[in-house]
Structure 1
């Protein structure tokens, strides 16, 4: 593996990690707060984190394709882990978009449920990442 390829993967991993921090950290903070204005700003942060996860995740595959002219060869547990991450990211994006669009009309219990759901999705995705990393 060339230095350029290693550098590419490293930079993507840094971006990917910051996306993970935004999804998990922003959600944990939002579960502890009741201020709608702050929660709304955190929703943008978490949504940005999910989008960052999707884009950087796809970029891993693009770099592999660039250097090897094929997509990464993953199977078994790694393939399931990637699928889980993709489902979590999709649901996370949809949930946060819905929250930003409609939460002003929700009761507090609905807002709390959305944030707990976001935390479950973020925790599941980051856990699946460990399996993807070590079984790929």
Structure 2
């Protein structure tokens, strides 16, 4: 078995599950429009973004381990990577600020706007992933 391909494949599995979570969690919260359990969805979304950041970094580490250098990306791929990072960092900051608030404040009126923003950040990062993949 090729260790390099296995490392990339396992990293991709984690990255894919993270992508599902960051898009599906806020869309689920929007579709159900329930404030009950809102904090659970926020924690799930935070876990998804953490998985995205960790697995994204792991792609670079796998390349460095097997090739002695980071992936050679340029142009559109760099723009897509920067966009993905901005989405992830913005989402993590929004989620952290939301989770630091008391539960009653988290479940309150701004929840729908927060969920829309999180869904948009997830969808944007997912779209950028296609450009990163095919332009690198």
Q: TM-score, normalised by structure 2?
A: 0.93
CA RMSD of aligned residues (A): 1.6
Alignment deviations for residues 109-135 of structure 1 (CA, whole Å, 9 cap, x no partner): 411111000011000000000000000
Indicate the structure whose relative CO is greater, using CA pairs within 8 Å and at least 6 residues apart: 2
Describe the shift of the 1:106–1:65 C-alpha distance in structure 2 as closer, same or farther (beyond 3 A): closer
- Larger relative helix fraction: 1
Structure 1 runs of 4+ off > 6 angstroms? none
**Residue pair 1:19, 1:53 contacting (<8 A) in 2 also:** yes
Q: For 1:60 and 1:130, locate their aligned partners in 2 and report how far apart those are by CA, in whole Å.
A: 15
For residue 105 of structure 2, what is the aligned residue in structure 1?
105
Q: 1:91 to 1:16 in 2, by over 3 A?
A: same
* Unaligned runs of at least 5 residues, structure 1: none
Segments of 5+ residues of structure 2 without an aligned counterpart are none
Match of 1:130 in 2: 130
Task: For 1:7-18, list aligned pairs within 5 A.
Answer: 7-18=6-17
Q: Residue 33 of structure 1 contacts residue 39 of structure 1 at CA under 8 Å; is this kept in 2?
A: no
Give the TM-score normalised by the residue count of structure 1. 0.93
How many residue pairs get aligned? The number is 135
**Structure 2 CA distance, aligned partners of 1:67 and 1:34?**
47
Checking the alignment, whether the CA contact within 8 Å between 2:39 and 2:106 is kept in structure 1 is: no
